[in-house]
Structure 1
């Protein structure tokens, strides 16, 4: 008996695997480049080998091998106008869609993104491979703030305790806007409320103005919001305002950081009061100094960063906070006469650099027992293939953010065509990917094989409708060749997508649409039973008679293996 896997993944996809009855290792291997495509992959005893040289698995060892195809950018839409998928000739996908199929969510909270946000290739493959929803940092923080659990955050509690034990002063530094790219104003509000809850006497807010991910002059609105919030809470002080250009440089332009630093530490900048700050900022606008480029405005001399103070940097995106964290916590990379505050206690919202020693409120999550790792732990061979544009997605992201291959995992990267834009060659390398997968399936070496087809997404991004149609047709042809090989070799074929794109090539005004969509994506299977739902829990699970326990990490939302469908 073989059980259908229900996996909490980006596209709510499933995989079939079966019990391996005995240990099997290739007894010999060839170091020659003997693949038909002459693309060596994998390694054997430190020797570079191809994926097809060693002996094949026995069908008595693996009852039902699986071939998973992830189509990039293949969404479902009933809107005909601008729908490249609907207007393409795709007889293979059309036929398979009449069999075992389901429509699956691939955006927003379904894949660990903020509500309503379109999916993407990285998140899609991460969730598919992990067999569970992988919440992105912004969502993890949103949930902690909205539920109030931010108050219980161990690093935050430690920071508050440190502040109370030292001098009763804590500083919050970060981008204050609702842009949602580097930070979110609601996170800052949640931190202030939590710090107040822990009865730290003084909380100072250092407001980095946006104007890049938000309107260039939207800062006055956010400043006003913060002042109203402080008044309502009867807690907190708006101490400094400085543009992200200076506070959040990422290009080693340390002279920019110096301007922000001297304002934060020494109060170097224009002085203002809370009552006059809106007027001051509007005056800056009148002189063409917009939010991003605001030089320091000092609202509280007492709010300067001083000896023994506690600091929290609350941006969750790493790249534009590394330099400031290094400046306050490790070393200054600029010359200044301003004395550096002694014995600062610095914490960061997320990991800005793996080598930084600072405590983290939301450290990186370790994605244990992702599908590839679980297969390796069972001694099962696997093969991952994609062309260059999507190779990282079937390896690094599918494997939970791990660069190195797992044991018994082999990989193949097919070169993407070297053209200026992919509308000039809409089929990209789909035929070569298909040919490689046909070889691998016919070799019967791997219980699990997977590939990605890039054309619908990459050509969809060009906005060229006619090219997107051709991209979908080329993808369908390649899938057809793989399907035939699967039928001949006893593989169950499963097809899904990571997000939508090519099904919407026109916007509501008839112009080009080049972005991903929030549309559902297909899940198709050549198995004998039809999916009954969109699979709200999607962790790989197996029937009891397999005698192979599914990874605990993949069972977090699975009722029981007995409830799974049989094929």
Structure 2
């Protein structure tokens, strides 16, 4: 399909570039002790958010393609919306639809997984919570019950503690519910011959300790998960509850940082791990979000994988298994080959239109969010749209707990961005400052306040360069996080490490502004959310947005 844009009838743009700054996780919530954004000293952000060219945008629920207003936004769907200019049904909603209409269980992928599970063991691996950002336990339970109904007698669940999209220490409550579901399934005879079901938790660990790395930031983390799930390497416990209770007594860290564990049958009597992965088994990764599912998918399914040695402790080869994801996590890389639900087909993105018009652009962040300003912004597509017109810069992230380095790579991202802007080669640029989100997820309020103050300091530098070049700066965020850092009940504070349902800021800084346009007044909602940003960018570049894009946030 040939893409093109029409010139704007009344606005030709500014002489300098348009820059979009996404302050990841910096939402808008009432001031107070739990709000790291308002607790921080932020003269630059205050000036931006008090100008006449300011509004607030919805960044959760239906506004970003999620099922309900109770569904938190996240960086992936947020950047999808920013780059697509329209709302597409996203992971959780797609999976819910496929479960509701039973189509997920009619696929050849499900049928093949069940067939392998009848002969061997069906393994389900994924984030274990109801956070709704990467997975939901409700979907896990539907898979478990259907597997049992379809004749699977042996099923091993490998759980990854959350403590990030949900309360920091909530793993025990989730384990209790899952154990009850498994017991209920096991209580029913598998067939008329009286065969017994063996559905059980087999292994697990914290999501920031094993399995769920992203963007190649920490392959040893994936290797730990691989060896835990596949070969049963790790500390042995009689149950997942015992594992968590023991680790709680040893550390004050939240669930996301708890170490790996393996359940051993007849603990202490020389028993075997409860659910190693062996030849002929089937493995389903039940997360629907892609970023932290890609690497473990490659480790379990890629014949040409070379990031770490996949042989067992006694030199045994990696098992040959049937592997599937809940969705295909990377369509360009085809990871994985087998998947249960088709991902959203996002086409005609902002980047595709700009490349078709010959507009040179850049995208930059550090490793933790680099994929968001590239892969997700471009509609879940890897690589360049047009390498002649685009420059993507990834600054390597440090492998640390981010409350120890609140600046993360904000300084480096800013310095690189300034060089790109001053080069005169680019008409449009986008960047992501990750620290409001990544430090916010630690639940450490002082560190998050410091992170926001560093963002403010470097926003001032970017504003100065935009003024120098006669360009336009857009300041926004992809979802909330740093804006609510704890909850308080009866005087007891509990860290809130998850995203929030807060709206996000949207401000335009235009040093040449002379009243040519105005911010459109509307309440945050599905028609006034992140997907409206793309048309606004087109306006500021001097183009009309495609007719099916959500309306611009400015009017002329």
Task: Place the TM-score, normalised by the shorter chain, in its bin.
Answer: 0.5 to 0.7
Q: Residue in 1 aligned with 2:124?
A: 174
Q: Is 2:502 aligned against 1:519?
A: yes
| Contact 1:174 1:207 (8 Å CA) reproduced | yes
Q: Is 2:197 aligned against 1:239?
A: yes
Counterparts of 2:499 and 2:124, CA distance in 1: 29
SS at match of 2:473: strand
Counterparts of 1:379 and 1:440, CA distance in 2: 17
Alignment match of 1:78 (pick from 30, 35, 43)? 30
Distance 1:154 1:524, change over 3 A: farther
Counterparts of 1:96 and 1:211, CA distance in 2: 40
Q: Residue in 1 aligned with 2:475?
A: 495
Distance 1:237 1:296, change over 3 A: farther
Q: Residue in 2 aligned with 1:550?
A: 546
Distance 1:190 1:456, change over 3 A: closer
Distance 1:222 1:472, change over 3 A: same
Q: How does 1:43-54 map to 2 (within 5 A)?
A: none
Deviation at 1:450, TM superposition (A): 1.9
Q: Is 2:95 aligned against 1:95?
A: no
Alignment match of 2:98 (pick from 144, 147, 150)? 144
Q: TM-score, normalised by structure 2?
A: 0.60
Distance 1:104 1:231, change over 3 A: farther
Q: Residue in 2 aligned with 1:13?
A: none
Q: Residue in 2 aligned with 1:504?
A: 484
Deviation at 1:225, TM superposition (A): 3.5
1:439-460, Cα deviation, whole Å (9 max, x unpaired) = 5445554221222334444554
Counterparts of 1:132 and 1:174, CA distance in 2: 33
1:227-255, Cα deviation, whole Å (9 max, x unpaired) = 58x69999x97633354239x99659779
Q: Residue in 2 aligned with 1:315?
A: 286
| Contact 1:252 1:323 (8 Å CA) reproduced | no
Q: Residue in 2 aligned with 1:378?
A: 357
Distance 1:251 1:479, change over 3 A: closer
SS at match of 1:215: helix
Number of positions where the alignment pairs a residue of Structure 1 with one of Structure 2: 459
Q: Is 2:180 aligned against 1:221?
A: yes
1:6-33, Cα deviation, whole Å (9 max, x unpaired) = xxxxxxxxxxx97579xxxxxxxxxxxx
Deviation at 1:89, TM superposition (A): 3.4
Alignment match of 1:410 (pick from 391, 416, 436)? 391
Distance 1:368 1:62, change over 3 A: farther
Counterparts of 2:454 and 2:313, CA distance in 1: 59
Counterparts of 1:180 and 1:63, CA distance in 2: 48
Deviation at 1:71, TM superposition (A): 1.1
Distance 1:367 1:444, change over 3 A: same
Counterparts of 1:484 and 1:134, CA distance in 2: 36
Larger radius of gyration: 1
| Contact 2:20 2:474 (8 Å CA) reproduced | yes
| Contact 1:72 1:454 (8 Å CA) reproduced | yes
Aligned Cα RMSD in Å? 5.8
1:277-326, Cα deviation, whole Å (9 max, x unpaired) = xxxx99x989x9999745579xxxxxxxxxxx997847345766778779
Deviation at 1:69, TM superposition (A): 1.2
Deviation at 1:464, TM superposition (A): 5.4
Q: Is 2:377 aligned against 1:398?
A: yes
Deviation at 1:494, TM superposition (A): 1.6
| Contact 1:129 1:398 (8 Å CA) reproduced | yes
| Contact 2:154 2:197 (8 Å CA) reproduced | yes
Distance 1:96 1:152, change over 3 A: same
Unpaired stretches in structure 2, ≥5 consecutive residues: 163-170, 205-210, 212-221, 248-259, 267-279, 288-292, 304-309, 315-319, 510-516
Counterparts of 1:430 and 1:183, CA distance in 2: 30
Q: Residue in 1 aligned with 2:165?
A: none
Deviation at 1:522, TM superposition (A): 0.8
SS at match of 1:379: coil
Q: Is 2:163 aligned against 1:206?
A: no
Counterparts of 1:186 and 1:415, CA distance in 2: 36
309-318 or 442-451, which deviates more: 309-318
350-359 or 386-395, which deviates more: 350-359
Q: How does 1:413-432 map to 2 (within 5 A)?
A: 430=410
Distance 1:95 1:18, change over 3 A: farther
Distance 1:454 1:324, change over 3 A: closer
Q: Is 2:555 aligned against 1:566?
A: yes
Counterparts of 2:225 and 2:160, CA distance in 1: 21
Deviation at 1:94, TM superposition (A): 2.3
Deviation at 1:78, TM superposition (A): 0.7
Q: How does 1:21-40 map to 2 (within 5 A)?
A: none
Counterparts of 2:370 and 2:362, CA distance in 1: 12
Distance 1:255 1:82, change over 3 A: closer
Distance 1:81 1:20, change over 3 A: same
| Contact 1:175 1:208 (8 Å CA) reproduced | yes
| Contact 2:127 2:161 (8 Å CA) reproduced | no
SS at match of 2:519: coil
Counterparts of 2:452 and 2:246, CA distance in 1: 48
Deviation at 1:376, TM superposition (A): 1.6
SS at match of 1:446: coil
1:103-141, Cα deviation, whole Å (9 max, x unpaired) = 223345644567645444455334423434566644422
Distance 1:189 1:380, change over 3 A: same
